[in-house]
Amino acid sequence: MKANNRSGFTLVEIIIAMFILTLVAFGLHGYLFSFIQSNKNSKDISMATSLGNQKLESLRSTPYDEIESDSDIAKNKYYRVWEIASDDNKKTIDLTVAWPQETGSHHVKLSTIIARP
């Protein structure tokens, strides 16, 4: 008689392997969602910082006596507010860029000092 040597996997082994792969896939799903959200937050922070720096550059090119506190909205999402504190020789500009998110409002703060010419 010949021995019956079949190679391959049994149905139970395949079902166990599929169950393990399913658990791994669901585990990675949570990490993927977290990664996507983190990437979106980084993009918003970068954009807010860039828009804040653009406004500070604009204020630096404004004549010294015309620099005043004000606010605006950039790209229909980012609310920029700048406050001016001045003394005899300089003006300090504190600029805040805020934007809404699902978890609430977030903001970036930037500052600069402009000396009297």
Q: What is the pTM of this model?
A: 0.74
Higher pLDDT, 26 or 70: 70
Q: Are 95 and 110 in contact (CB under 8 A)?
A: yes
Q: Are 55 and 69 in contact (CB under 8 A)?
A: no
Domain ranges of the chain: 11-115
Residue 30 in this model has a pLDDT that exceeds 90? no
Q: Are 81 and 56 in contact (CB under 8 A)?
A: no
Eight-class DSSP state of 88: S
pLDDT tens-digit map of 60-97? 999 999 999 999 999 999 999 999 999 989 999 999 99
